[in-house]
Chain A
Amino acid sequence: MGQFREISNMTASGKSSGAQTWLTSVRQPCCLERCAIIMVERRMILPAATRQQAKIETEVRAVETALRRDVVRIRYEIGEDWSGQWAIFFRVVLSDDAAKHRLRETARKVESRLAERLDFQELGVFAYHNFRSESEQSALREEAWG
C-alpha cells in the first residue's frame, strides 16, 4: 500500500487569468490487494514570468550594467516562496566597497531599478532580493551566486 506511480505526463489544460494551467501529475496507488483507487490531481498555475524570461534577462542585465560600479552580477530564479506564492529570487553580488560602506543604499538602488524595468505584479511574482559581497561569495562559493 502507499506506493504510487505516475500515470500521465505534463499536459497543458488551458489558460486562466494570464497564467498557464498545467496538469502536472495524476497518480494512482499501485497495490495488489483490493483497495480503492485514489486519483490525486495537482494543478500548477505558472506565472507570466515563466513565459517572459528573455525580457527579464534583458532588463536584469541592463540594471547590472547601469549599476556596474557597485554591482558585480545579478542572478535570479523563479520559484515558490515559503507560502507557496510565485516569486522571483534575485541574488545580487556587490562589490566589497559597496557592501561595506553603502549596503542599504545600493540595495535600495538595485531593488528600485529592477522594479522600474520589471512589473512584478504583471509578471505574477513577488520579488525577493538577497545580497552578498564579492569576498563573501568567494568564501561561500555557491554556484547559484556565481
Chain B
Amino acid sequence: MSTAYYAAFHLLIADFVANWAITDQRARLGRMFEHRRMSGASFNVRDKRNLTPAESELQKLIIKFTKLQNDRYEADYDVGRKWSRSDVENTLALATEVFHTWRGIRKEKVAQHHLMSMFGARQS
C-alpha cells in the first residue's frame, strides 16, 4: 500500500521539480513537498458545474491520490486495520490509474497549477 502511494507521490513531485533548471537542486526541492499539504491543496476551477476535460481528469486524480494517501497511512500506522486482497488490489489499481491519468494531463496548465498548489504556493 505504501509503495503504491509513494509511486504516485514521486510521480507528481518528479514532474514538478523537472521544471527547475538547476538539476542538482531538484532532489532538495522535491523533499520540500509535504503529504498533508499535497492532499489539502485547493483545486480551483473557473466553473465548478462545467469542468473542462482536463479539470475533470485532474479532479479524479486528486480523489484517487487522496485515497492512496489515506490507505498508506492506515497500512503503515493502524495495526488494527485488516486488509482484504480485494481492497489491496483496488488500491493498486488506483495507483495505476493515477499514472495513466497524469500522463494524459501533465502538460495541461491546470495540472501544472495544481502541482504548484500541492507544493504550497498560493493561488495568485
Q: What residues of chain B lie closer than 8 Å to A81, measured between beta carbons?
A: 70
Residue-wise interface mask of B (59-73) relative to A, using a CB-CB cutoff of 8 A (1 in contact, 0 not): 000000011011001
Q: Which of B43-79 contact A (CB under 8 A)?
A: 66-67, 69-70, 73-74, 77
Q: Which B residues between 63 and 115 are near A, CB-CB below 8 angstroms? A: 66-67, 69-70, 73-74, 77, 82, 84-87, 89-90, 93
**Complex contact B84–A132 (CB within 8 A):** yes
**Complex contact B67–A128 (CB within 8 A):** yes
Shortest C-beta distance, B17 to chain A (Å), equals: 23
Chain A residues with Cβ below 8 Å from B39 are: 83
Q: How many angstroms from the CA of A82 to the CA of B36 in the assembled complex?
A: 9
C-alpha gap A107/B85 in the complex (Å) = 14
Q: Are A140 and B84 in contact (CB under 8 A)?
A: yes
Q: From A115, which residue of chain B is reached at the shortest CB distance?
A: B63
Contact of A83 with B36 in the complex, beta carbons under 8 Å: yes
CB distance from A92 to the nearest CB of B (A): 9
A94 to B86, CA, bound (A): 9
**Interface size counted on chain B using CB atoms at 8 A:** 18
Alpha-carbon gap, A142 to B67, bound state (A) = 21
CB atoms of A132 and B87 under 8 A apart? yes
> Inside 8 A of B70's CB, which chain A residues have their CB?
81-82, 87, 128
Pairwise interchain contact B86-A83, C-beta atoms closer than 8 A = no
**How far does the alpha carbon of A35 sit from the alpha carbon of B82 in the complex, in Å?**
45
A85 nearest in chain B by CB position: B40
**Cβ–Cβ contact B93 & A103, under 8 A:** yes
Return the chain B residue nearest A107 by Cβ: B90
| Chain B contact residues, CB within 8 Å of chain A | 36, 39-40, 66-67, 69-70, 73-74, 77, 82, 84-87, 89-90, 93
Q: What are 29 contact pairs spanning A and B, CB under 8 A?
A: A81-B70, A82-B69, A82-B73, A82-B74, A83-B36, A83-B39, A83-B40, A85-B40, A94-B86, A99-B86, A103-B86, A103-B89, A103-B90, A103-B93, A104-B90, A104-B93, A107-B90, A128-B67, A128-B70, A129-B67, A130-B90, A131-B84, A131-B87, A131-B90, A132-B86, A132-B87, A133-B85, A137-B84, A140-B84
Interface pairs A-B: 10 shortest CB-CB: A82-B73, A132-B84, A136-B84, A99-B86, A104-B93, A131-B86, A132-B86, A83-B36, A81-B70, A133-B86
